[in-house]
């Protein structure tokens, strides 16, 4: 189960106490924000893309959308969203629980600068009923980020 991989990953980092689990779904930005009692921007949504057939993950603030022109400028190629039913095979987490922790080896994780507006953000924890409380500064070293990018629409 994906959440168990995430919990093991975070336990190794001394951050298991940051995992929050819910009975209700947190599969969308709106549901997660309501469950946590925070504004939607605080939700770190994970967007899964294929670029030249290879997967990559971008975390963005929950209140922004991807700007296709910025994406192409950042990655030098056009990306396409991974089809819903293929996300788990490429990334290691099913839709609704995709997060930057314990992803499949070789999947680069990028962090969008939109996350830096918030002191605390909440990515999923591997399933559609969970979140992890982290600061944007903690995210980059925690997930061995491939870097910060600016791919959100202004």
Q: What is the pLDDT of residues 101-148, one digit of tens each?
A: 999 999 999 999 999 999 999 999 999 999 999 999 999 999 988 999
Task: Output the six-digit token pair for 73.
Answer: 């400028």
pLDDT > 70 fraction of the chain, expressed in percent and rounded = 99
Q: Is residue 152 part of a domain?
A: no
Q: Is residue 53 part of a domain?
A: yes
37-45 mean pLDDT: 98
pLDDT digits (tens, 9 = 90+) for 3-13: 999 999 999 99
Q: Is residue 150 part of a domain?
A: no
Q: Angle at Cα 140 formed by Cα 34 and Cα 54, nearest 5°?
A: 90
Q: Is residue 105 part of a domain?
A: yes
Per-residue confidence (pLDDT) for residue 151, from 0 to 100:
98
Domain enclosing residue 131, as ranges:
2-144
pTM attached to this predicted model = 0.95
Q: Angle at Cα 30 formed by Cα 154 and Cα 2, nearest 5°?
A: 105
53: left (phi over 0), alpha (psi -120 to 50) or beta: left
Report yes or no: 151 and 72 within 8 Å, Cβ to Cβ: no
Distances in Å between the Cα of 131 and the Cα atoms of 10, 20, 56, 68, 96 are: 12, 5, 20, 27, 11
pLDDT digits (tens, 9 = 90+) for 59-111: 999 999 999 999 999 999 999 999 999 999 999 999 999 999 999 999 999 99
Q: Which residues have a Cβ under 8 Å from the Cβ of 137 and sit 6 or more positions away?
A: none
Per-residue confidence (pLDDT) for residue 154, from 0 to 100:
83
Report yes or no: 32 and 84 within 8 Å, Cβ to Cβ: no
Q: Is residue 151 part of a domain?
A: no
What's the domain count of the chain? 1
Q: Is residue 149 part of a domain?
A: no
Q: Is the pLDDT of residue 1 over 80?
A: no
| CATH number for the domain harbouring residue 60 | 3.90.960.10
Q: Is residue 154 part of a domain?
A: no
Q: Is residue 28 part of a domain?
A: yes
């Amino acid at each position: 189960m994906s959440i168990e991989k995430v919990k093991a990953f975070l336990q190794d980092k001394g951050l298991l106490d940051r995992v929050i689990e819910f009975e209700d779904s947190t599969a969308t930005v709106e549901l997660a924000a309501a469950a946590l009692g925070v504004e939607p921007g605080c939700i770190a949504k994970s967007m899964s893309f294929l670029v030249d057939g290879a997967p990559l993950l971008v975390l963005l603030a929950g209140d922004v959308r991807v700007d296709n022109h910025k994406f192409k400028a950042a990655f030098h190629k056009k990306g396409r969203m991974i089809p819903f039913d293929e996300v788990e095979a490429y990334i290691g987490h099913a839709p609704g629980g995709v997060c930057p922790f314990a992803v499949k080896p070789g999947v680069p994780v990028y962090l969008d600068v939109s996350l830096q507006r918030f002191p605390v953000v909440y990515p999923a924890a591997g399933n559609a009923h969970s979140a992890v409380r982290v600061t944007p500064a903690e995210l980059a070293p925690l997930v061995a980020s491939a870097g910060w990018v600016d791919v959100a629409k202004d």
